[in-house]
Structure 1
């Protein structure tokens, strides 16, 4: 276990972080949805939950602390099986920072830290964390973004060297409301065995982003390769300002 880390199923959040932030004092809600439609069942440890044909639904609540700092809460990390049974699997929290920009600056940098607790069926280690470096730029209709992720075990029976992954997004704005692009998620091994690309999970997605006014939609279809047991993954992120949802509910009441 010290030399080989388990293959991981599609995570609850398949996203390249950019510079989007809630305004100070405002709440947001992103609902992450993904489904592995084709792949190979895995058995990395006894009691592991299979990702194949299991829908993952994760609400992510966020709050703008300042113009540069945002907090987030993933609750619950849930899955839905073929019989429609909902299974809450854990909780995760995050803190995201995007550095202030000068007027006219078209690039950004920042960082995100996450820590969470999951059930044994989702991970053999109950407590895990991630530190994410964020950089990106907009050049005309093009958007380019890169995340450098370090995932490490906080506590658990199968501790291992921190894993390193690089996530990339290249997108082109077809119109003011629609953009198309490619996202890639590429494991590069651990600190102890950095560069072991062929022995790590890899995935590439064709994505579309739709600006629908007060809410937004990210859609993607991906292919896993390398050690990734998930061969075809469908993902969606539905983004809404939480105040608008609560306002509608109050209006109905």
Structure 2
């Protein structure tokens, strides 16, 4: 009987410890802003997996948005609806075209406390992704893409699978790049040529991470945008590809945490 009592007490203690662990984690997350991740063209939400694991371990609540990639105005409207459903402070993070979308989507939202651009566009009003890409030489994306007619005069655009690794993620293993080439999300061409709305970076502090091996958005363009936005910090990742969130998730997560801490 005594052994059974001891066993029962042991189970109760373990259960209480487990609940304490869950409770402390819940408190940690409640004390931190929600990190909202917005992927860009030729990618999907899973491209943030390595970053999400590190943010979750640090106690941050995370939302990875499925960016429609149809038009800047439409995609921004969708993102605004996602942000409206999140209570409390937000750190908004965009990769590539995701920055084109989040820049106008965050305007006027008092909960968005920081903008983090990861190899991303940070447009001024009326600027398109194509405008910015061509502002300085260095992008080789044009020769790597292929188009699929949609029947309405517009096209879906993807990167040719054979050129995907070299163009998009040269510092990622061939096996992982081959999988990403198959699962890449197409972007509608009008989204690349549509100008953005009023930029949030004029009123919300920003942080930039720039991979020096980026073949999609020239690093010179990224530095130009960071300077224009008066970024709080600019981090260069030497030799990293456009898919820096995949190849260097630790450095991406570190910058996001830096931005989150600075806005508290």
Q: Using CA pairs below 8 Å that are at least 6 residues apart, which structure has the higher relative contact order?
A: 2
Structure with the larger helix share: 2
Structure with the larger strand share: 1
TM-score of the superposition, structure 1-length normalised? 0.31
TM-score of the superposition, structure 2-length normalised? 0.30
